[in-house]
Amino acid sequence: MSERAYRVIGSRPVRHDGADKVTGRAQFGADIRLPGLLHGHLLRSPYAHARIRRIDTRRAEALPGVLAVVTAADLPEVPDRLLELVEGTLPLSYAQANVLARRKVLYKGHAVAAVAAVNRHVAEEAASLIEVEYEPLPPVLDLLEAMREDAPLLHEDLRTREFGQPTGKLSNIAEHFRHALGDVEQGFAQAEVILEREFRTATVHQGYLEPQTATALWNQDGRVYVWTSTQGAFSAREAIAWVLDLPVSQVRVTPMEVGGAFGGKIRVYLEPVAALLSKKAGRPVKIVMPRRDVFEATGPTPATCIRVKMGARADGRITAAQIWMAYETGAFPSGQCGFGALCILAPYDIPNILIDGYDVVVNKPSTAPYRAPGATQAAFAAESVVDELAERLGLDPIEFRLKNAAREGTRRADGLKYPRIGCVEVLEAMKNHPHYRAPLEGAHRGRGVAMGYWFNIGWYSSCTISVNPDGTVNLVEGSVDLSGTRTSIAMQAAEALGLRADQVHPVVADTDSIGPTAVTGGSRTTFATGWAAWEAAQDVIRQMKERAALLWEVGPDQVEFEGGVFRAGERSLSFRELAERLEETGGPVIGRGTVNPSSAGGSFAGAIADVEVDPETGKVCLLRFTCVQDAGTAVHPGAVEGQMQGGSAQGIGWALNEEYLFDPQGVMLNSSLLDYREPTALDVPPIETLIVQAPEPDHPFGVRGVGEANIVPPPAAIANAIYRAIGVRLRRLPMKPSAVLEALWSKER
Amino acid sequence: MKWFDYAAARSLPEALELLARPGARPLAGGTDLLVQMRAGERKADLLVDVKRIPELNRLECDPAGGLQLGAAVPCCRIYEHPEVRRRWPALAEVAEMIGGVPIQSRASLGGNLCNAAPSADSVPVLIVLGARCRIAGPGGVRVLPVEEFCTGPGQTVLETGELLVGFELPPPEPHSGAAYLRFTPRREMDIAVAGAAAAITLEDGAIRRARIALAAVAPTPLLVPEAGDRLAGKPPAEEHLRAAAELARAAARPITDLRGTAEFRRHLSAVLTRRALEAALARAREA
Amino acid sequence: MTGEKVRVRMKVNRQSVELLCEPRQSLLECLRDILGLTGAKEGCNDGNCGACAVILDGRLVNSCLVLAVEAEGSEIITIEGLARGAELDPIQRAFLEQGAVQCGFCTPGLILATKALLDRTPDPTEGEIRRRLANHLCRCTGYDKVVRAVRQAAAERREVRA
C-alpha cells in the first residue's frame, strides 16, 4: 500500500471537464461548425482484394452541390520512410495507401475516392456515381492459409524480416521474431506434466461510440488546419504532414474531445482526405465515418492462432514454456504479435522460454492497437494452459500462480529484468478477496481466475503551468484526454503546488500551443504527462522561491516550500499571497516541464469470474466479476476503478460475443452495433474492483498507468470458469452460445 | 439517403389516396424502414406518415372483451396499458422486448408485422393469441389471421395501395396463458436467433387447446398447428410438452446465417418451445 | 417528387423554433446541423447505440430514427435543455459525482434515458435500471458507475418529492 501521505492524490474530485460533458457542451470531433463547411463522403471498395483498373469521377463531379472529388491520384508521391506508430513502424507508402488505395484495394471497405458536397446526402449520392473498374483477385482471409508458401500475395514488395533482419523473401509473413531464455528442451525434460494446446481468437473492434471524424481547412496561406478525434495531436500532425508531403509545421492539429478510442484513434484515416478535399474546394470539409465503415475500414485488432506448450514439476514449478504465435495484421504490417510476446508469460518466473512470433498480412482491415494490444489474445492462451496445469497438479489456481509469480529481478521473455512490480501483490489480493472465498453453489456454475499484464510505456510529454494572480494555475498539456487524464494530471500538479485539484485549470492544447507530446496510449498519460506536470510545478516553485527571496531579500535557496506555503525563517507567504505579488516582483511566472522516460513500470491485473452456463442454449451468464489491479499509486481512485470496470467489460465482450464475421469473399457480415454485440448494461454484472498499490520506483508519485492491463485477464478467467461449470475447455474466442453448446455436444458424444 | 417526399395523413381515406401514388410507402415508427432506406435496401419516393390516423392509434378493449390494437400504436403504449398487462401479459412482454426504450417509443406491432422479418418477435405472439389483421385498401377492408400475413422474408400479402390498419385480438379464454421466449446472445438489443410463442388453455386439469408459433426458423413466422394439437386433451406433463417441442423442431426449416446455424436454430426451437409451454402453463394455472 | 424543403415547427428546450429541412433529414441531423444543438451524438445512425437520444413529447427516442418532418408540432428536450440556468439537473450532478462519465460521448443519451426512466419509475431496481438503459451503449465505464448515478439521482428526486 501507498507509503506516503498525500493531500490531493488519492482523493476523488469531480473531473474538470465534467460539467461540459453532462450538459452536451463538450465539443467532440463532429461537433465543430465552421463557416462554409462542406461534408465529405468516401467511396469504398466492395472487394477484399482487387486491382484498380480505372476510376471515373466525372459523373460525381457533375452532380449539383458537389465541390470536390479526390482519389489517390491527388496524393503526392512520398519518399520512402518509416512512420512511427505506437505498435511499431509502418512504411509511409503503406500508411498513404491505407488512406486512399492507389493500385490495389486490400480489404472490403478500403477507401478509393472521396467527395465534398453541400450536405452529406449529396456527398453520398455523388460517391455512388463514381465508376471504378476492378480486377478482383482471390482474397486471403485465413491466417494460417496466408502463411502458406503458395498463398496469393497481398503486396508485391513485402519481404519477410526474420529475427530482425531482412530475408528478401516475398511472403505474407511480415515478421518472424524469437525470444529465448534458458533451454526449453532441458526445461521440458524436468517437467512431470506437459500440456500442449492451440487457441484461436477472432478479429474484434475497440467499439468506441464516436465514429472517426475529421474536419480540415487547407488555408489559402498554405497551412492546413485539422480538427479531429485523435489520441495524439502530434502523432496525427506528423502522419498528416507525411502523407501529404508537407513540413510538420505547416499542419496544425486541434484535438477535439474523443468519444472513446482504446487504441483505435492513433492512425489517421480521414484527416488527409478532408485536407485534399478542402484544398480542391477552397472551403473547410468535415467527414464523419458511417458506423459500417468504422467496422470495415478502421483498425480492428488481430485475430490470432497461438500454440502453448508448458511443463511443470509435481511440486508446482513451471519449468519451461514454448509459444508459437501468429497474429493477423490485416492489409498492412503491424507489430502487435511482438507486444503479445512480451506479455504472454509475463506474470511468471519461468527459467526456460522459447517464443516464435509471426505477423501476417491478410485481406482484412489494417489492424490497430486495442487496449493492451496483443496481450488479451496471448493471455487467453497462456492463462488457460496455466489453469489446466494447476488442475492436473491438484493445486489451487491462485496458489499455483503464486508459486511461479514474477517479482523484482525476474526476467521477462525478452530478457528485461523486472524492477519493482505488483504481480505477487495482485495475486495475494485475489486470494484474500471475499469473492474468491465466497461459496458458489448451483448446477452449471463455475469460478475462474486469470492474470494479465501490460508493460506500459513512457515517452515524451510537455506541460506548461502559468500562475494566475488569484493563486490558481492554468495547466496546458499536449496529452489528449480520453477518460479523465486532465484531472489525474492536474491532481499531480496540485499535489506538487499545495493546491486543491479545482485550483488547477487544465487545458488540452493544439499542436501550435504546446510542446510535442506523444500519443495518449500505452497507459502512459497519467504516468508521463503527470510527471511533466510535476516538473512544470517544480519549475514554478523554483521561480516563485526567487520572487519570495526578492521580497524578503534573502537567497532563493533559503526559501522553502511546503504544504502550499513559502517560508524563510519567520516569514511566510501562501502560494496565493505570493501569486498576487508576481507583477511587482518581475512579472508572470510560467513553469515548463518536459519528460521522456524510457520505460515505465508495468501493471498487473487479475480477474475473478463466476459464470452460469445454460446447458440447453450454451449461453454464459456472468454472476459476479472482480478486477484487481496494481495502480502503483492511484491518483484518482474513482477514475482508476472506472478504467478497471471499462476494461473488464470490454474483456467480457471479447470473451463471449464480439467477433468479425466474414463471408468467403471477405465481406464483413455484422458491421453494425446491432450485430457486433458489444455488451449492454444487462450483459455485465456489477464489476467489483480492488486497487493494489505497489508504487512505481522512478515516478515522483509512484504512478503506474492503469488503462490497459484490466482488459487482459477476462477472457481467460471466463474460459476457466466455464470449464469448472460444465467440464469443457473452450479454446476459441468468442465463447459464444453456439460454440459452448457444440463443445458440450462433442463432450457428450 | 435518396430524396423522398413526406406527407402526414390525418385520415384513413387520405392515407389510401396518398398510398395510391407511385413509389408511396407507409411510415409508422420508422425504426426498421429508415434504417433499411439508409442502407439502400428499401426505396420510396413518398413516405406516408400513418401515425396521426385515429384508426391506427386505437388501443382499447371492445365490448366483447377483445382488444382493438391500431397498427401504429407504439410498443410503450401497449406495455403501459393496465388492461393489456393484466389480460394479455405475453403481448405486453413482447412489446417491451422489441429493441430498447427509445425504439419502443416509436416502433409498432403493425410495423413489426409489415417488415415481415422471420425473426419478428411480436408476430408469433399475435399468432398464438389468435390475432387477426384488418387491412384497408382501394377495394375496401379485409380481415385475415396474422399467420397468413407474411409470405416470405420482407414479403407480405399487402397489395399496392393497401394499409394494415390494426389487429383484433379475441378475449382470453378462462384458464389460459401465453408466453414468448427468444434466444439472443445479448440479453437485450438483439435479434432472435430463434423464438417460440405458446398459448395454452386448461380445462379440468388437462390441456384443452394449445397453439405454438416460432420465430426465425423459417422464411416467415411459423404457426406449428401439429405441435399445439399434440397437446390437446393431454395432461400438462413434461413428456407431452417435450413431444410438442419435438414437433416444433421438426417443423422448423431454418437457414444458416450470421446469427446462427440451421442446426443450432432447430435445437433452440425445441428448447424454447418447451420453455414457452412451461411459462404459458404457469400463467394458465394462475388465470 | 417535389424536391421541395419542408417547413417544420416545433418546441425545442421550451423554445419555439421553425426550420426548413429536407424530408430525408433526420431529427438528429437537424438538431445538430441546423439548430447547432450538438449534444445529441451520432454513434451509429441506425438506432443501436442510444447516443442520439432525445425526449420527444415525453418519450425517449433515437433522434436518428425520427425524420425532422415527423416532429412537426412536437416538444423536444435535448441534453442542452436539462440544466436550469446555472443549476445542473440532479441527474447531471449524480453522473458527475459518481464518476459515471468517462469519454462523455454516450453521456447525453444516458442522462436523458435516466430522466425518461425516473419520470415514469421513480424507484427502479438495479435490474430495471440496467434493462431500461440497455439501448445505450457505453464502452468506457462497464456501466457500474452509471447504475450508481441513476440510483443516486432517483434517491435525490424522491427526497425532493417527500
The whole-number pLDDT of residue A86 equals: 74
Cell readout for A652 is: 467480457
Q: Reduce the DSSP state of residue A600 to 3 states and report it.
A: coil
Query: CA of A434 to nearest chain B CA: how many angstroms apart?
Result: 28
Q: Rounded to the nearest 10 degrees, how much is the dihedral formed by the CA atoms of C120, C124, C127, C132?
A: 20
DSSP string, A121-152: HHHHHHHHT-EEEEEE------HHHHTSTTSP
The whole-number pLDDT of residue A3 equals: 54
Give per-residue pLDDT as tens, A348-399. Answer: 999 999 999 999 999 999 999 999 999 999 999 999 999 999 999 999 999 9
Q: How confident is the model at residue A749 (pLDDT cuts 50, 70, 90)?
A: confident
Helix axes C144-161, C107-120, angle to 10 degrees: 40
Q: Which whole number is the average pLDDT over A71-82?
A: 93
Q: Which portions of chain C are predicted below pLDDT 50?
A: none
The whole-number pLDDT of residue C1 equals: 63
The whole-number pLDDT of residue A2 equals: 44
Among B193, B264, B274, pick the best mutation site for testing chain A contact (most A Cβ within 10 A). B264
B34 bridge partner residues:
none
Query: For residue B3, with 0-12 CB atoms within 10 Å meaning exposed, 13-18 middle and 19 or more buried, which class applies?
Result: middle
The whole-number pLDDT of residue A433 equals: 98
Q: Which of C42, C102, C134 sits opposite A30 (nearest CB)?
A: C42
The answer to whether the CB of A463 falls within 8 A of the CB of A485 is: no
For A707, nearest residue in chain C (alpha carbons): C140
Check CB contact under 8 Å for B3 and A679: no
In chain B, residues with a C-beta closer than 8 Å to the C-beta of C5 are: none
> Would you tell me how many other CB atoms lie within 10 Å of the CB of residue B134?
20
Chains in contact with B, where contact means 3 or more Cβ–Cβ distances below 8 Å, are: A, C
Give per-residue pLDDT as tens, A681-728. Answer: 999 999 999 999 999 999 999 999 999 999 999 999 999 999 999 999
Q: Is the pLDDT of residue A82 over 60?
A: yes
CA distance linking residue C38 with residue A336, whole number of Å: 36
Pairing of strands B24-27, B46-49: parallel
The whole-number pLDDT of residue A1 equals: 40
CA distance linking residue A7 with residue A81, whole number of Å: 48
Pairing of strands B46-49, A213-218: unpaired
The whole-number pLDDT of residue B81 equals: 97
Give per-residue pLDDT as tens, A159-174. Answer: 999 999 999 999 999 9
The whole-number pLDDT of residue B287 equals: 84
Q: Which whole number is the average pLDDT over B140-151?
A: 98
- The CA–CA distances, whole Å, from A136 to A46, A102, A130, A139, A663 equal 10, 15, 18, 9, 16
Cell readout for A593 is: 516541464
Give per-residue pLDDT as tens, A214-241. Answer: 999 999 999 999 999 999 999 999 999 9
Residue that is written with C-alpha cell 395501395 in the block: B161
> Would you tell me how many other CB atoms lie within 10 Å of the CB of residue B238?
10
In chain C, residues with a C-beta closer than 8 Å to the C-beta of B189 are: 48, 134-135
Check CB contact under 8 Å for A290 and C45: yes
**Phi/psi at A460 (nearest 5 deg)?**
-90, 145
The whole-number pLDDT of residue A548 equals: 98
Q: Which whole number is the average pLDDT over A288-298?
A: 98
Check CB contact under 8 Å for A737 and B185: yes
pTM for the full predicted model: 0.98
> Would you tell me how many other CB atoms lie within 10 Å of the CB of residue A156?
8
Q: Is the pLDDT of residue A102 over 60?
A: yes
The whole-number pLDDT of residue A348 equals: 98
Q: Which residue in A369, A701, A346, A643 sits closest to A527, CA to CA?
A: A701
Check CB contact under 8 Å for C134 and B6: no
Give per-residue pLDDT as tens, A297-335. Answer: 999 999 999 999 999 999 999 999 999 999 999 999 988
Q: Which whole number is the average pLDDT over B202-206?
A: 95
- In the sheet that holds B5-8, the strands lie side by side as B5-8, B46-49, B24-27
Q: Which of B185, B268, B271 sits opposite A736 (nearest CB)?
A: B185
Q: What is the mean pLDDT of chain A?
A: 97
In chain B, residues with a C-beta closer than 8 Å to the C-beta of C134 are: 100, 187-189
CA distance linking residue B85 with residue B79, whole number of Å: 6
The whole-number pLDDT of residue C138 equals: 98
Give per-residue pLDDT as tens, C35-65. Answer: 999 999 999 999 999 999 999 999 999 999 9
Among A20, A23, A670, pick the best mutation site for testing chain C contact (most C Cβ within 10 A). A23
**A165 — contact with chain C (CB < 8 Å)?**
no
**Residue contacts between A and C (CB atoms, under 8 Å):** 181
**Phi/psi at A222 (nearest 5 deg)?**
95, -10
In chain C, residues with a C-beta closer than 8 Å to the C-beta of A25 are: 39, 80
Q: Is the pLDDT of residue A671 over 50?
A: yes
Q: What is the mean pLDDT of chain B?
A: 97
Pairing of strands A504-508, A473-477: parallel
B contact set with A (CB within 8 A): 1-3, 183, 185-191, 193, 257-261, 264, 267-268, 271
Give the helix, strand, coil percentages of chain A, each rounded to 5: 30, 30, 40
For C5, nearest residue in chain B (alpha carbons): B5
Q: Which of B1, B8, B103 sits opposite C135 (nearest CB)?
A: B103
Burial B54-85 (b: 16+ CB within 10 A, else e): ebbbbbeeeeeebbbbbbbbbbbbbbbbeebb
The whole-number pLDDT of residue A84 equals: 80
C76 bridge partner residues:
C12, C56
